[in-house]
Amino acid sequence: MHCTYPNGPIRSTFFPRDFYNSVDNQFPQRKIPQFVAPLPGRRITKSTPTPPRRRAGLPAIAVGMDEDEVRTEAWWGRRAWVLLSAVRARAPLVQCITNLVSMDIVANALLAAGASPAMLHCLREVPDFIPRCDAVYINVGTLSEDWLPSMRAAASAGRPWVFDPVAVAASGFRMEACLSLLALCPAVVRGNASEILALASRSDNSSFKGVDSSHDSSDALQAAKALARSNGSVVAVSGAVDFITDGVQVVSASNGVPMMQKITATGCAVTALIAAFVGADPSDALVAAACALAIFGLAGELGMESARGPASLRMHLIDALYSLDEQTVTSRVKISLLP
Ligand X SMILES: Nc1ncnc2c1ncn2[C@@H]1O[C@H](COP(=O)(O)OP(=O)(O)OP(=O)(O)O)[C@@H](O)[C@H]1O
Report the interface residues with ligand X, using CB under 6 A. 166, 192, 211-213, 238-240, 242, 256-258, 260-261, 264-268, 270, 293, 296-297
Q: Which of residues 228-287 bind Mg ion (CB under 5 A)?
A: 267
How far apart, in whole angstroms, are the C-alpha atoms of residue 242 and residue 221?
A: 10
DSSP bridge pairs for 136: 95, 161
Residue 139 or 283 with smaller CB distance to ligand X: 139
Residue 32 or 237 with smaller CB distance to ligand TZE: 237
Type of residue at 159: R
Count of residues in contact with ligand TZE, rule CB under 6 A: 11
- Residues 265, 274, 278, 292: which binds ligand TZE (CB under 6 A)? 265
CB–CB of 112/318 below 8 Å?
yes
105 interacts with ligand TZE by CB under 6 A: no
Sheet holding 116-118, edge to edge: 116-118, 93-97, 135-139, 161-164, 188-192, 234-238, 242-245, 250-253, 335-337
Residue 232 or 297 with smaller CB distance to ligand X: 297
DSSP 230-243: HH-SEEEEESSSEE
Stretch that binds ligand TZE, among 66-74, 96-104, 197-205, 292-300 (CB under 6 A): 96-104
Interaction partner, residue 256 (ligand TZE, ligand X, Mg ion, none; CB < 5-8 Å by kind): ligand X
102 interacts with ligand TZE by CB under 6 A: yes
Task: State the number of CA atoms in the 13 A half-sphere of 312 facing the CB.
Answer: 7
Interaction partner, residue 296 (Mg ion, ligand X, ligand TZE, none; CB < 5-8 Å by kind): ligand X
Residues 6+ apart with CB under 8 A from 247: 225, 226, 227, 228, 229, 230, 235
How far apart, in whole angstroms, are the C-alpha atoms of residue 139 and residue 166?
A: 7
211 interacts with ligand TZE by CB under 6 A: yes
Which residues of the shown chain bind Mg ion in the complex (CB under 5 A)? Answer: 166, 267
